[in-house]
Structure 1
């Protein structure tokens, strides 16, 4: 097995624990800390795990919610299958089946 890391994004849960149920509630609080995001951007930030985020935004969220980055991001191990090759090296299992090509004698 290859040890692959993932994470759970806990922003929505932390907001709910602090009686913040509208994603738009974050817009002015972020703006007070110099972070200008549209309502749509904040909605995506709350409802989807971000792939990238500025440190300034992370720090602002921690300040707003009185939490640490560890409270917002829960690391988790996501194991993936590995197959052994003929020379005994490991490589990730193919994600899609390979298409087989049948060649008849005389065809290239």
Structure 2
């Protein structure tokens, strides 16, 4: 099966920049509204994951979690984390960089589901 979460080169570059400043990072994709609908980047350990979160994979060597409810909507897709110009979530570390993380997705092929 294909990786469930991957990152573009732009996102990986932003992750490296943030890691140089903040150390190890972690990501969380929830299904909430507003900021919660974007992938949020935190210093590792600054966001407490719980029983309702799943470790989806890693991007740039950093763990990427998703809420179980949101995973049910997206389990048939690969999440592609990108970085674009703009302001991110107010609690996400990339805000001061003038960039924001963005989730794109694509449906898995039948071969990738196996």
The TM-score normalised by the length of structure 2 is 0.29
Comparing both structures, which one devotes a greater share of its residues to helix? Answer: 1
The TM-score normalised by the length of structure 1 is 0.30
Comparing both structures, which one devotes a greater share of its residues to strand? Answer: 2
Higher relative contact order (CA 8 A, sep 6+): 1
